Structure 1
Amino acid sequence: MIIQYHLARRTIAECLRDRGAINRIAANSIVALEERRDNNDNGPLVRDDAQRCIDVVEQFQRTANALDIWDAEYHEPHQPSPPLNINGVEISVFPDILVLDNRRQRVGQAFIRCTIGTSGDAAENRRQEANVQLATIAHMHTLQYLTDLGQPHPQTSLVLDVSRELIFRSPANSARRIANIEAACTMIAAIWPSV
């Protein structure tokens, strides 16, 4: 079993942490992924994932300078990542990168999304909503665990949708969205069978 795009996400996170070395990091990753793709000892899922990762890394490399992401510094996220506890519901949260805006002493976290997904207006709307929701969860996780690094700021937490070349940030006024997530978790906790 493999986690799709894991190697691409790891490469892109490394590129964000070291902007000056993007081309070297991407090139080294692509060489390793090509070896993985071309190794017949690997199963078809592994080889297919390697090719998809190559495509995503190359796309990020081509479009990185146009993305609105370079005002912050990026660091390795805390490992292991503690779960987010919302009204009795424990949610596993594994951000790809830690975001620091040192000019304003703000902190956030980011997720890197690589999947292409289905096309069409309805699918795109669902994807956008999911990305904003994920950015909000990143902000909530930051509020719970990273206040020692700076002021958790909603728009410092983000989702980088590589295949769409888009950045989704937690809304500046995220109180209502957070309240909706908390209400949903309260309902889940009430009906979820306790262990």
Structure 2
Amino acid sequence: MPTSKPKYREAAHPQVSANQLAQYLLAGPSARKRIVQSARWQSTAVVARYRLAREAIIGCLCDGTRSPTKVAAERESLIERLGKPGNSSWAKDDIESSILALDRYAASSGQTVLSKVTCKPVPGSVPPLIIADLRVKVTPDVILHQGDQVGAMVAMIAKGEKSTKVRTEQARTAAILVWQFAQKHLQKYGEVQRSLCVSYDVFEGTVTPPSANYVTRLKNIQDACEEIAAKWHTVPPPDDLES
């Protein structure tokens, strides 16, 4: 009799995603416990949304011409994929949402710093940041070049999930983490410029660099990572974890 796929996969090392860390900084005690729990016991059923939108936006940003024709081609590719038979309801919804995200990118990107820099793909696999013995997975989408200066951008793609205040705070944390990543891994491409290390909220159409109080935010991130690492081996597993 075939064995069923386990619901969870336990992480081998203390680790969180940049998004989980940003959520942790804003969460209360109970929510923080759930975040650490979900980071340690990762659901095998979770599938990342907006993957197609992210790929299309990266393709448009890294296209040297920044031509509307490229955006139109990416959009047509998504529409063709939507029309293919065999798509599940989840897949159809994800493709439709990806088309909306691409449309928002097309409407807003020319009004941001992204229109004034050269974007290039991030080469190879991306190593995690190590903060207070915690592995933080920061995955920039493109490297930004402006003369001899470099930075990076991570796209935040989520439609109307949170209040503007929460989205702004998470964007600022993401920008700080991108800056830390750039300082660690992008020095070989040029002088890392803090203002070029940004998070891009696709649906809001806003680009956020590290805020002026970045020293305080860095300290808060350090403290949060120390706390997560300390809690890692004591947080209980999910109630439905198979014995």
Question: The TM-score by the shorter chain falls in which range?
Answer: 0.7 to 0.9
Task: Find out whether 1:37 has 2:82 as its counterpart.
Answer: yes
Show structure 2 runs of 5+ residues with no match.
1-45, 235-243
Percent same amino acid at aligned positions? 23
**Residue aligning to 2:221:** 181
Q: Could you tell me which of 142, 149, 164 is aligned with 1:124?
A: 164
Q: Report the secondary structure of 2:115's partner residue.
A: coil
Q: Distance in 1 between matches of 2:95 and 2:225?
A: 36
Deviation at 1:20, TM superposition (A): 2.0
Q: Which amino acid aligns with 2:100?
A: D
Does the 8 A contact of 1:77 with 1:96 survive in 2? yes
Q: Could you tell me which of 101, 106, 112 is aligned with 2:146?
A: 101
TM-score relative to the length of structure 2? 0.72
Structure 1 runs, 4 residues or longer, greater than 4 Å off: none
Deviation at 1:62, TM superposition (A): 2.6
Q: Which amino acid aligns with 1:139?
A: W
**Residue aligning to 2:157:** 114
Task: Find out whether 1:164 has 2:204 as its counterpart.
Answer: yes
Q: Distance in 2 between matches of 1:60 and 1:41?
A: 28
Deviations 1:110-154 (A, max 9, x none): 1112211236xxx11011000110011101111111112222222
Deviation at 1:19, TM superposition (A): 5.0
Task: Find out whether 1:139 has 2:179 as its counterpart.
Answer: yes
The 1:3/1:160 distance shift into structure 2, 3 A limit, reads: same
Q: Report the secondary structure of 1:9's partner residue.
A: helix
Deviation at 1:187, TM superposition (A): 2.2
Show structure 1 runs of 5+ residues with no match.
none
The 1:112/1:14 distance shift into structure 2, 3 A limit, reads: same
Q: Distance in 2 between matches of 1:40 and 1:30?
A: 18
Does the 8 A contact of 2:109 with 2:115 survive in 1? no
Higher relative contact order structure (alpha carbons within 8 Å, sequence separation ≥ 6): 2
Q: Report the secondary structure of 1:70's partner residue.
A: helix
Q: Which amino acid aligns with 1:186?
A: E
Does the 8 A contact of 1:111 with 1:159 survive in 2? yes
TM-score relative to the length of structure 1? 0.88
The 1:58/1:19 distance shift into structure 2, 3 A limit, reads: farther
Q: Which amino acid aligns with 2:211?
A: P
Does the 8 A contact of 1:87 with 1:185 survive in 2? yes
Q: Distance in 2 between matches of 1:124 and 1:62?
A: 19
Q: Distance in 1 between matches of 2:116 and 2:80?
A: 35
Q: Could you tell me which of 36, 60, 67 is aligned with 2:112?
A: 67
Q: Could you tell me which of 76, 80, 87 is aligned with 2:132?
A: 87
